[in-house]
């Protein structure tokens, strides 16, 4: 029998290896914030003739938008990010580009947020993640209320969850400076969805531990936890796999608009398998052993 | 089969038939609903958040009354402009959310609806040089035209006293567009005095402090007049604004999202294709891995899909790009309950139970895990919906709402529909191999 629980220190080490680069990146570089968190304007432009990126950059600078970040999408459109502008400035910018580049311009998508809103969004996002975690903890503690120390189950489930969230945050911080991935309100949506979904597998594992404790399959809590993990590992992987399949399909074929969002979901779900199987159960044992020196009967 | 299960089966089949009828074809008229309601990121349009400057509020008015007045006027303007199904809502204390789905002339609509549009009449006095009084910059110095109202109070002559029936006419001969207006009783009293006082002198007409024109008063007029000096578009907008009345509070756009209709239909097509591919992948996986149980899960998924679409159409739920993504992701989650049940069944079969006993045990023992895991997803959805609602992120709200509905419905289909079909299946296919264990 594979002994996941006794090798738990190895898995905690893997977690640390996964966490550290992301945390360093978060501390050093922070995040590339989307405009709903930092204010500004994002727009997608389609030109009727071929326009090269350096040419577009030159024109943007000439029109007074030297700060613009310009990205070419896979569909051949240009994604521009500039400061917050009003309708008059928008019209002037489009007219200016039309004239300077001698081409027709279609504004496919325009999104602008003032600093006023951006501050509120960032604050509410933090509240939302906090509130969701607290409710999860309360619910898990409630669901396991007949177990000894229900709070401990809730706390371990939420630690495993935050471990998942922290890894995704770290990866997005790294992807931010590597390929310009942004943290915006859709990213927060992905995080909360991960919070709601990834705890499912942990619940499945814990549910089995609960059942096995009632059955009394072993006197040793660690052995009970280990068998419970092994008994549920296939379903944990399979339930996530179906979500991964649907996410992959949307990522590959669903267009650029929600790619970053789906990527955040995907990473979260994959990491979620890891922390349900290798972190959530072993954490219970760690807490148990940390408090009692000898193996404890279930 | 137990009688209660027979009734349940009949109920499920009736529900399924009803849902199927409701959505075939998708654009059929069912209970006044045609097709799916698409968000503006899928059909194009604009999403605007205005903030009103409450410091400019008339002290005699409550904030609620002032805001409601503004919302009502914006509504009238949007309708008069010809926006189809505009959505105008007050948000928080001093914000107004305006959605203009499918609108192509967004910039123009924005100018029209968000402008205060206070029409003022101003007069000037002749100076010694034979011209008129000038300000420091050398422009004509205008002062508000005041007159005594029927209640003997002095009042400024503004658009407030117009009847809501201004219209654009073409000046005979030149075809120049003009806005023809009529005064109400009070306006007529004031206008008569103002024109009498300013005979053969210019009368300045200002919109939000910008001069439109300054015609010379030719005669004493009481009831009506025309405003010239605009192109056709401007004249049309002014007529709409005069009829709705000026806004009591100045507005500023603090958030705007505008999507071109072509991008919207691109997104819709792509996400539909992606969704179909995702669902096919899930079905393939389920059938290959769980065999007969997988077929049952696929049937349950089919019923799930039809009922979900019917709910979207009939409620109606506004579908956004993120909402469709949530719908597709919820398919992946919908089969989760099935997976938990089937895995449990396999365990029971391996432990030597009969097929019937394994199905029963699979459902009853997996129930706790299914319940607990779905509740956590519901919590996340509710928190998300709140989060999206606080700043009007329709993508976030759309995702949360759709995911909630999807997960709730999937619990029903996984638990009732799969169980019923599985009970039928084990009567027909009795070899345990088909349920994922060695025969």
pLDDT, position A230: 92
Q: Does residue A294 carry a pLDDT above 60?
A: no
- As a whole number, mean pLDDT of residues B293-321 equals 88
Q: How many residues does chain B have?
A: 439
Percent of chain A with pLDDT over 70: 97
Q: What does DSSP assign to residue B213?
A: E
B373 to chain A, closest Cα gap in Å: 4
CA geometry: angle at A32 spanning A28 and A36, to 5°?
140
Instruction: Give the pLDDT mean for A246-264.
Output: 88
* A217 interface with B at CB cutoff 8 Å: no
Query: Closest to A258 (Cβ–Cβ): which among B111, B254, B321?
Result: B321
Contacts of B285 in chain A (CB under 8 A): 241-242, 245
Strands A40-47 and A69-72: unpaired
Per CATH, the number for A8-35+117-291 is 1.20.1640.10
pLDDT tens track for A195-218:
888 888 898 899 899 889 888 888
B350-357 long-range contacts (CB < 8 A, ≥24 apart) are: B350/B437, B355/B426, B355/B430, B355/B432, B355/B435, B356/B423, B356/B426
A40 burial level (CB within 10 Å; 0-12, 13-18, 19+)? buried
At A216, list the tokens: 């009394």
CB atoms within 10 A of CB B17: 11
A 39-98 → B contacts, CB under 8 A? 44, 86-87, 90-91
pLDDT tens per residue across span A161-184: 888 989 999 999 999 989 888 888
Tell me the pLDDT of chain A averaged across its residues.
86
By C-alpha distance, the chain A residue nearest B393 is A185
For residue range B177-204, list pLDDT tens digits in order.
888 888 888 888 888 888 888 888 888 8
Give the span between the Cα atoms of A176 and A179, in whole angstroms.
6
Mapping DSSP onto H, E and C, the string for chain A reads CCCCCCCHHHHHHHHHHHHHHHHHHHHHCCCCECHHHHCEEEEEEEECCCCCHHHHHHHHHHCCCCCCEEEECCCCCEEEEECCCCHHHHHHHHHHHHHHHCCCEEEEEEEEECHHHHHHHHHHHHHHHHHHHHHHHHHHHHHCCCCCCHHHHHHHHHHHHHHHHHHHHHHHHHHHHHHCCCECHHHHHHHHHHHHHHHHHHHHHHHHHHHHHHHCCCCCHHHHHHHHHHHHHHHHHHHHHHHHHHHHHHHHHCCHHHHHHHHHHHHHHHHHHHHHHHHHHHHHHHHHHHHCCCCCCC
pLDDT confidence band for A290 (50 / 70 / 90): low
Alpha carbon of B251: minimum distance to chain A alpha carbons (Å): 13
Instruction: Enumerate the CATH 1.20.1640.10 domain ranges in chain A, comma separated.
Output: 8-35+117-291
DSSP one-letter code for B430: -
Inter-chain CB proximity A197 and B333 less than 8 Å? yes
pLDDT at B395 over 80: no
Say which of A109, A124, A199 has its CB closest to residue B391: A124
Task: For domain A40-112, give the CATH number.
Answer: 3.30.70.3400
Chain B nearest-CA distance from A41, in A, is: 9
B256 min Cα distance to partner chain A (Å)? 5
The tens digit of pLDDT for each residue in A117-142 reads 777 787 888 888 888 888 888 888 88
For residue B333, the chain A residue with the least C-alpha distance is A243
Interchain contact, B266 vs A255, CB within 8 Å: yes
Tell me the percentage of chain B whose pLDDT exceeds 70: 98
* Residues A137-159: tens digit of each pLDDT: 888 888 888 877 888 888 898 88
Do strands B203-207 and B210-213 pair parallel, antiparallel, or not at all (unpaired)?
antiparallel
Two tokens, residue A296 = 């404890």
To the nearest whole Å, the CA of B289 is away from the closest chain A CA by: 10
Helix (H) or strand (E) holding B144: strand B143-144
Classify residue A77 as left (phi > 0), alpha (psi -120 to 50) or beta: beta
The CATH number that domain B3-37+260-435 falls under is 1.20.1640.10
Say whether pLDDT at A58 is over 90: no
Gap between the terminal Cα atoms of chain A:
20
Q: Which tokens sit at B256? A: 């705007």
Query: What mean pLDDT is predicted for residues B380-396?
Result: 78
From the list A199, A241, A202, the residue with the least C-alpha distance to A225 is A202
Q: Do B396 and A188 touch (CB under 8 A)?
A: yes
pLDDT confidence bin for A293, thresholds 50/70/90:
very low
Reply yes or no on whether the pLDDT at A267 is more than 90. yes
Confidence band, pLDDT 50/70/90 cuts, at residue B392: low
Give the mean model confidence (pLDDT) for residues B35-57.
Answer: 85
The confidence band for B158, taking pLDDT boundaries of 50, 70 and 90, is confident
Q: What is the mean pLDDT of chain B?
A: 84
Does the beta-carbon distance from A185 to B263 stay under 8 Å?
A: no
Q: What is the pLDDT of residue B130?
A: 67
Sketch the domain layout of chain B as residue ranges: 3-37+260-435
Q: Provide CATH 3.30.70.3400 ranges for chain A.
A: 40-112
Q: What is the pLDDT of residue B346?
A: 87
Q: What pLDDT is recorded for position B1?
A: 63
pLDDT (tens digit per residue) in B96-109: 888 888 777 777 88
pLDDT at A227: 92
Of the candidates A188, A186, A190, A179, the one whose C-alpha atom is nearest the C-alpha of residue A79 is A179
pLDDT tens for residues A62-111? 888 888 888 888 778 888 888 888 888 888 898 888 888 888 888 888 88
């Amino acid at each position: 029998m594979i002994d996941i629980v006794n090798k738990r220190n190895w898995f905690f080490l893997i977690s640390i290896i996964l966490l550290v680069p992301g945390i360093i990146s978060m501390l050093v570089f922070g995040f590339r914030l989307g405009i709903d968190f930092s204010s500004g304007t994002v727009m997608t432009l389609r030109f009727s003739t071929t326009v090269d990126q350096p040419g577009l950059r030159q024109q943007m600078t000439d029109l007074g938008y030297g700060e613009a970040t310009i990205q070419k999408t896979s569909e051949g459109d240009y994604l521009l990010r500039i400061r917050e502008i009003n309708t008059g400035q928008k019209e002037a910018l489009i007219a200016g580009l039309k004239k300077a580049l001698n081409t027709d311009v279609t504004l496919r998508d325009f999104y602008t947020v003032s600093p006023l809103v951006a501050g509120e969004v960032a604050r509410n996002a933090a509240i939302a993640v906090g509130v969701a975690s607290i409710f999860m903890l309360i619910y898990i503690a409630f669901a396991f209320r007949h177990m000894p120390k229900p709070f401990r189950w809730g706390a371990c489930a939420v630690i495993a969850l935050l471990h998942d969230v922290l890894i995704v945050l770290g990866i997005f911080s790294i992807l931010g400076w590597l390929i310009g991935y942004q943290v915006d309100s859709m990213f927060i949506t992905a995080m909360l969805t991960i919070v709601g979904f990834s705890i499912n597998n942990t619940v499945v594992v814990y549910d089995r531990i609960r059942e096995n404790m009632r059955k009394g399959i072993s006197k040793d809590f660690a052995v009970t936890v280990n068998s419970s993990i092994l008994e549920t590992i296939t379903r944990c992987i399979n339930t996530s796999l179906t979500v991964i399949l649907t996410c992959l399909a949307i990522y590959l074929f669903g267009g650029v608009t929600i790619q970053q969002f789906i990527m955040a979901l995907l990473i979260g779900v994959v990491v979620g398998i890891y922390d349900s199987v290798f972190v959530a159960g072993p954490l219970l044992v760690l807490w148990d052993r940390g408090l009692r020196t000898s193996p404890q009967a279930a | 089969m137990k009688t209660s299960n027979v009734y349940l089966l009949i109920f499920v089949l009736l529900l399924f038939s009803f849902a199927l009828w409701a959505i075939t074809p998708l654009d059929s008229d069912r209970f006044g609903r045609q097709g799916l309601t698409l968000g503006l990121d899928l059909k194009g349009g604009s999403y605007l958040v205005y903030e009103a400057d409450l410091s400019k509020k008339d002290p005699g008015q409550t904030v609620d009354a002032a805001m409601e007045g503004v919302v009502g006027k914006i509504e009238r303007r949007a309708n008069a402009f010809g926006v189809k199904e505009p959505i105008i809502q007050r948000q928080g204390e001093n914000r107004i959310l305006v959605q203009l789905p499918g609108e192509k002339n967004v910039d123009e609509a924005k100018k029209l609806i968000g402008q205060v549009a206070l029409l003022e009449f101003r007069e000037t006095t002749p100076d010694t040089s034979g011209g008129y009084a000038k300000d420091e910059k050398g422009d004509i110095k205008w002062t508000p035209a005041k007159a005594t109202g029927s209640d003997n109070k002095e009042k400024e002559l503004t658009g407030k006293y117009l009847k809501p029936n201004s219209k654009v006419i073409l000046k005979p001969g030149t075809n120049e567009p003009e806005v023809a207006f009529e005064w109400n009783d009070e306006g007529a009293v004031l206008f008569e005095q103002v024109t009498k006082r300013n005979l053969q002198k210019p009368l300045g007409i200002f919109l939000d402090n910008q001069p439109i024109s300054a015609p010379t008063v030719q005669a004493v007029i009481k009831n009506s007049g025309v405003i010239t000096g605009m192109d056709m578009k401007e004249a049309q907008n002014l007529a709409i604004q005069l009829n709705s009345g000026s806004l009591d509070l100045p507005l500023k756009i603090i958030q705007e999202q505008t999507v071109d209709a072509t991008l919207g239909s691109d997104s819709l097509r792509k996400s539909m294709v992606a969704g179909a591919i995702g669902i096919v992948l899930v079905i393939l996986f389920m059938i290959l891995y769980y065999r007969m149980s997988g077929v049952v899960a696929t049937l349950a998924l089919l019923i799930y899909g039809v009922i979900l679409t019917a709910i979207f159409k009939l409620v109606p739920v506004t579908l956004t790009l993120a909402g469709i993504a949530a719908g597709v992701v919820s398919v992946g989650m919908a089969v989760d309950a099935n997976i938990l049940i089937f895995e449990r069944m396999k365990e029971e079969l391996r432990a030597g139970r009969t097929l019937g006993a394994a199905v029963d045990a699979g459902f009853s023992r997996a129930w706790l895990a299914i319940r607990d895991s779905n509740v956590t997803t519901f919590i996340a959805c509710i928190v998300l919906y709140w989060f999206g609602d606080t700043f009007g992120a329709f993508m976030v709200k759309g995702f949360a709402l759709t995911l909630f509905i999807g997960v709730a419905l999937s619990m029903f289909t996984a638990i009732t529909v799969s169980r019923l079909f599985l009970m039928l299946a084990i009567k027909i296919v009795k070899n345990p191999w088909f349920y994922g264990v060695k025969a």
